[in-house]
Amino acid sequence: MKLTHISKIFFPNSLKEVKALVDINLTFEDGEFTTLSGESGSGKTTLLNIIGGLERPTSGSVFIDELELTALSDKQMADYRLRHIGFVFQAYNLISVLTVRENIGFIMKLLRYDEAKINKRIDELSGILQIEDILDKLPGQISGGQQQRVAVARAVASRPKLILADEPTANLDSKNGERLMKMLRSLNEKEHVTVIFASHDRYVLEQSKRIIVLEDGAVIEDR
């Protein structure tokens, strides 16, 4: 994945104008386990959103395997997200009326996987993420840590190329945060999925293979 000259300006030409990203050029290889780091307002979430096709840059392009993501229509972009990107949000964001099992299988259902394949994958992931006992519960009936693990399961269930996780440990205590990172790391190694975080959590940074530090919308460090 290649990002070329990405800039993002919110409320352009107004008093509220904010330059969130300034001429970002980055390349991500398959199977990376990378964290976008930086202080609040540094632009890491905005960059993550642009990589995930949730937001369009003011200028610049995102290429994934020769496909220019930024040139796609909203509908094509939604389809691309469905097929190739898994999201883990800070606030878990599960579908409240679906059980844990249904939440995990939701994207696979949209992709028309057959029922047996969906169930097999749910069983496999629930084992890895240790959520076998809560599969028939609704999101409102489980803890925050469990909800975040379900969100991870939903994100990886259809084996997307890329997982984008925005502050996935922010609402978790340190024990649950570490546990989640270990699981994501294990999924990254076992399933060779590319994972990009936006986080300033020390433990997330320790676990990352690559850290990109942003400040005032620009990359100041890439190690």
Q: How long is the chain?
A: 223
Residue of the chain from 110, 136, 202, 209 that contacts other proteins (CB under 8 A): 110
Among the residue ranges 95-103, 123-131, 176-184, 215-223, the one whose residues contact other proteins (CB under 8 A): 95-103
18 binds other proteins per the rule CB under 8 A: no
Instruction: Kindly tell me which of 27 and 76 has the beta carbon lying closer to other proteins.
Output: 76
Strand bridging mode 33-37 / 210-215: parallel
Smallest gap from Cβ 119 to other proteins, in A, equals 16
Q: At what angle do helices 115-128 and 100-110 cross, to 10 degrees?
A: 130
Beta strands 33-37 and 194-198 are: parallel
CB of 40 to other proteins, least distance (A): 8
Residue 201 found at the interface with other proteins (CB under 8 A): no
How many residues touch other proteins under the rule CB under 8 A: the total is: 35
Give the residue with the Cβ less far from other proteins, 27 or 144: 144
- Report yes or no: 122 and 114 within 8 Å, Cβ to Cβ: no
Choose the stretch contacting other proteins; rule: CB under 8 A; options: 30-38, 40-48, 60-68, 211-219: 40-48
- Cβ-in-10-Å burial (0-12, 13-18, 19+) of 37 comes to buried
Given 5, 12, 25, 95, the residue binding other proteins (CB under 8 A) = 95
Q: Phi/psi zone of residue 5: left (φ > 0), alpha (ψ -120 to 50 degrees), beta?
A: left
Angle at Cα 79 formed by Cα 182 and Cα 208, nearest 5°?
20
Q: How far is the CB of 115 from other proteins (least distance, A)?
A: 12
Tabulate helix, strand, coil % of the chain (nearest 5).
Answer: 40, 25, 35
Q: Which residues 126-165 are close enough to bind other proteins by CB under 8 A?
A: 138, 154-155
> Which residue, 149 or 189, is less far from other proteins as judged by CB?
149
* Residue reference for tokens 């986080």: 199
Neighbours of 147 (CB within 10 A): 23
**Could you give the string, one character per residue 54-93, with x where binding to other proteins holds by CB under 8 A and - elsewhere?**
xx-------------------x--xxxxxx-xxx-xxx-x
Q: Which residues bind other proteins (CB under 8 A)?
A: 40-41, 45-46, 49, 54-55, 75, 78-83, 85-87, 89-91, 93, 95-98, 102, 106-107, 109-110, 138, 154-155, 166-167
